[in-house]
Amino acid sequence: MRRPVRSSVALLFLCALAACSALRPAPPDPLPSWRDGAARSAIVSFVSAVTDPDGPDYLPPAERVAAFDNDGTLMAERPRPAHAAFLYAGVVAAAARNPDWSVQTPYAPIVAGDLGAADALGYAALGALSDAVQAGLTETEMDRAAMAFVAGPAPPGFRAPVRELAYAPMLELVRYLEAAGFRVFVVSASGVDFLRAIGTLVYGLPPERFIGTATKYAVSEQAGAYHVVHAPGFSTLNAGRFKAINLRLHVGVRPVLAVGNSDGDLDMLRYASGGPRRSLVLLVDHDDADREYAYRDETERLRAEAATRGWRWISMRYDFGRVFSGASE
């Protein structure tokens, strides 16, 4: 008579322990949008090695810093980077108040809807557009405008709204790294204030994880209300060596994992791989004309350097099982 009772005692005890601690089901695959292959294996091996407290490559959590480029790395940069599309939309919205723009560079092609011609003006034009659209906005006005744009419909020429242009495998990689104790920073030549709206609405990364190009700022105070306000000009252009320098300025710890896709990322990638720790550098190859785009612009130096340094290419065509986070393919 006592035995079944004892068994049920033991069973209840185990159930109670199991319910609240160890005996959970196996966790789901953290990288379901990645196909098996060299890129996925390199990622998993690296993270296992640097988080193994008994291994030679163990990194204390304080040093687990990862740096990701944004445009073309975390999300599509075609037909143009999202921040450029935001500036174009701002010009169109303000064109009626600025009739001269229909004959002035760099506004005229945007007002006329010839966005390819506007793109061809390159980075130099973006300074004037940033001044025209952002200068004078308080931080609150800027944040609202950026959030509305990211949450809004597809910009002209885009195949989908901005919030659907992030790469599902890359967002999984960000979450996989965060779960392994990494702090992931997004290091971009696009404007930092704009990017933070994508961070909030799409990536789920807090705003202090974004390092980008920034306008100058002023402050204004009236009747106790105090605002930081966007001013004309740039205070930092976060490209080339400034991607490394601004990581030092903002984070203070050299990243050991960096991901980029063009020559503008070279300094950041060299910085990540040029220290004493084991590092992993990943490069996104836009080789998928069917599901995204196929192009190799501004990757010549990157391709040469990757070959000699053992940096690893991610093929969007072969390594990505699914491409876009917003779409159900």
Which residues bind to its own copies, rule: CB under 8 A?
A: 2, 5, 8-9, 12-13, 16-17, 19-21, 62, 139, 183, 185, 192-193, 196, 200, 206-208, 210, 214, 217-219, 221, 224-228, 235-236, 241, 244-245, 247-254, 267, 270-271, 273-275, 309
Q: Which is nearer to its own copies, 291 or 301 (CB)?
A: 301
Which residue bears the tokens 């931080």?
139
Q: Residue 268: in which H helix or E strand, if any?
A: helix 266-273
Q: Which is nearer to its own copies, 12 or 179 (CB)?
A: 12
Q: Which is nearer to its own copies, 16 or 93 (CB)?
A: 16
Q: Quick check: bond before 255 cis, omega within 30?
A: no
Contact 265, 284 (CB under 8 A): no
Q: Which is nearer to its own copies, 9 or 151 (CB)?
A: 9
Q: Residue 234: in which H helix or E strand, if any?
A: strand 225-236
- Compute the least distance from the CB of residue 261 to its own copies, in Å: 19
Other residues' Cβ atoms within 10 Å of the Cβ of residue 309: 13
Contact 32, 172 (CB under 8 A): yes
Pairing of strands 225-236, 210-222: antiparallel
Contact 285, 314 (CB under 8 A): yes
Q: Which is nearer to its own copies, 51 or 236 (CB)?
A: 236
- Compute the least distance from the CB of residue 185 to its own copies, in Å: 8
- Compute the least distance from the CB of residue 320 to its own copies, in Å: 29
Give the dihedral of Cα atoms 133, 123, 291, 157; nearest 10 deg: 40
- Compute the least distance from the CB of residue 132 to its own copies, in Å: 21
d(CA 315, CA 329): 18
Q: Which is nearer to its own copies, 236 or 315 (CB)?
A: 236
- Compute the least distance from the CB of residue 111 to its own copies, in Å: 31
- Compute the least distance from the CB of residue 130 to its own copies, in Å: 15
